[in-house]
Structure 1
Amino acid sequence: MVVLAAFTSLGGLVALLAGAYGLHRTRHLTEAGEITDALVKAVLQGADRPTLQFETADGRVLEVVSPVPPNRRRPLRAGERVRIAYDADDPREVVLIGRERRGLDRAFVAAGASLVVVGLALGMAG
């Protein structure tokens, strides 16, 4: 029972930390990142997400894979322009403004915290 409790708590801790990190990165990019427009390009053969092309503040033109999953209510369409925030130190890290994944990250935090509590309860019972 103690081994099950340890694995449950450890799995929950990993999920909690993943969600917390995602929330932190999203907040950091939306508050301190560079804001620009990006052009949505067509989905490449074999890929499931379109690419975003944008120009950085220092004039470089980059293409990155969209962080928005294709199963969203309103998928990105080729030729569309979207607002993004990117990390000036690593411009490959982007967030689409208004389409952040905060809900998913919060779900990871909640599920992880729940698993940690269940693991602790199992540990105390065993």
Structure 2
Amino acid sequence: MDTGAVVVFAGVVALGGMVAALAGAHGLRQAQRVSETGVRVPALVKRHPGKDGEESAPLLQFVTEDDKVMEVVSPVPPTRGQPLRDGDNVLVSYDPADPRNVVVQGRERFGLERAFVAGGALIALLSMALLAVVIAGR
């Protein structure tokens, strides 16, 4: 394989890894900020059918401090251990500046965000190592 092609490939992969790491870091920061400083309110879980009668992500309905009724798609999927059944109540934290930005208390997915940071950083580092080997071998 041509050295130039390897350099371009490694550079593009490194850039993709850095984007993934930055996206994970941003998501982690936002989720932690809303979880810690957001307004906590109870939310009602509502199921709604998606296209062709398929089940789609549940909706969370809550009332903000200024008495606006918000209905947002749940940021976390239901699991066997923690299903989100129609009519259930969950505690959410929302950002007063943007009430559509919510975190379901006790179901934060910090692990997923950390995986994006670690995976993206690892991909970027491996790509840069490949670049260093290819450039040193010239």
Gaps of 5+ in 2: 1-5
Q: What is the match of residue 119 of structure 1? A: 127
Task: Identify which of 17, 23, 39 aligns with 2:22.
Answer: 17
* Shift, 1:72, TM fit: 6.0
TM-score, normalised to structure 1, is: 0.94
2:104 counterpart of 1:96: yes
- 1:48/1:70 contact within 8 Å kept: no
Match in the other structure for 1:78: 86
Aligned counterparts of 1:72 and 1:20: Cα–Cα separation in 2 = 28
Amino acid at match of 2:50: Q
Query: Hey, what's the Cα distance between the residues in 2 that align with 1:57 and 1:65?
Result: 19
The structure that has the greater radius of gyration is 2
- SS of structure 2 residue aligned to 1:93: strand
Per-residue deviation, residues 71-109 of structure 1 (Å, max 9, x unmatched): 564220111000000010110110000101101101101
TM-score by length of 2: 0.86
1:8–1:118 contact (8 Å) kept in structure 2: no
Q: Is it true that 1:55 corresponds to 2:60 in the alignment?
A: no
Q: Is the 8 A contact 1:36 1:83 kept in 2?
A: yes
Match of 1:40 in 2: 45
Percentage identity across paired residues of the two chains:
50
Secondary structure of the 2:100 match is coil
Shift of residue 8, structure 1, vs aligned partner: 1.5
Q: CA deviation at 1:64?
A: 0.6
The one-letter amino acid of 2:21's match is L
What is the SS of the residue equivalent to 2:56? Answer: coil
Alignment coverage as a number of residue pairs: 126
The alignment's C-alpha RMSD in Å is 1.3
Q: Which runs of 5+ in 1 are unaligned?
A: none
The residue identity in structure 1 corresponding to 2:120 is: G
**AA of the residue aligned to 1:119:** S
Q: Deviations over 1:8-67 (max 9, x none)?
A: 111100110111011000111011111100000123333521101100001111111111
Residues 4-13 or 65-74, more deviating: 65-74
